[in-house]
Structure 1
Amino acid sequence: MHSLHHRAPACRTGALVLCLAGLLTLKEGTSRTWVPLVARRASEWGRAATEEELTQQVPTLYVYDHCPFCVRARMIFGLKRMPFKLDFLMNDDVVTPTKMTGKKVLPILKMDGEAMGESLDIVAKIDAIGKPILAKAADRKDIDQWLKDNKDLMRKLTRPRDASALYPEFATRAARATWVMNHPLSGSSFEEALESSEDPCYELSWLRPPGWDAIGCDWMRW
């Protein structure tokens, strides 16, 4: 199995974060207080794991760090404060995901001896454990249309930067080259897209989906 178990810095764009904010919506009254895991466990350096910790079975989430659908699946674990193992697969590893779900598509959740794909299904499964915290999907057709209208521009902004980013799934030249080969841009090369992307990067009003002014930025203050 080709994978990396460490957590790498995420290189996200405003578009990606903005989209994800609408994909996972907390119910009213749900606490947004978050205490970083590092702060809570700062004094645990050098200690031995307890017997309970050694025998505890936690879900494993297989992801790519650049993938927005994988980010969505990771977010629900954080919102639910549920422990899990994060496993970054190499981008050119076809065998591992195929053995679990029959195809090379992430995220994949392995839990209770079973593997499942599809980020929304994973989110629903984890949210159903204990008290659900997510509100019902709004089914906003205007947001769907906004995503379609800006799809090509988002790709031109993100793909050339993803191609050179320090993601764990691109830890080898072969893994990075596989991703670049499978994610071409329509009508331009990565180099051309980078050279022409300065103006769109500074004019970010297109990133604001319909209704953004009405909801504000409270979700960014978690």
Structure 2
Amino acid sequence: MDNIINMLPEIVKSIQQTIMMVVISITAAVVFGGPLGIFLYLTSQNSLHQSRWLNRTANYLVNLVRSFPFIILLLSLIPLTRLITGTTIGPVAASVSLSVAAIPFFGRLVEQSLREVPRGIIEAAVSTGANTWFIIRRVLLSEARPSLMSGLTVTIVSFISYSAMAGAVGGGGVGDLAIRYGYYRFQTDIMVTCIVILLFLVQLVQSVGTWAAGRLDKRK
């Protein structure tokens, strides 16, 4: 316990860095991945603005990024990270790669959520003369809210794990602390503490996400 108490300032700092990385990447996922998912849905076969060429191109790009193991993507984006942030270490630098990975990840989940909306509801909106923006905002996003919240929860949980992986290349956060002290210095107590912190964060996010999805479900 003495070692953990002495390391407490470093542990608190690592938690703050992890939260920073996750917040930045999830913000990028919502801002850019959300519209990407809507675009994938709208241009898909038998959808409102079907376009085989646009849909295939977007799908190819999404699948290309998602096919990279995160640690490989992290290393391959080092030049871009240096260009944007001026450095390749630290939580802000790691957030660049996390954001690039989060955008297509969440975009695909948004597309899947929108596909769950009954076509009858969409066709009814179209028959009343509703424009595309109205259908997106009032029909698709409204009906898919529980599924979208579940998808957001899955994304946050996944990127808590990804942020820990970023510690392997100096990204900071709880993963970096576990590697530097728990692995390289054989301090098992620090390693266990880091695991407990990550488990707590995941359980907290999952619990809040499940509760929020339930509250948004109009069928209950």
TM-score (norm 1): 0.26
**Relative to total residues, which structure has the larger helix share, 1 or 2?**
2
**Relative to total residues, which structure has the larger strand share, 1 or 2?**
1
Q: Which has the larger radius of gyration?
A: 2
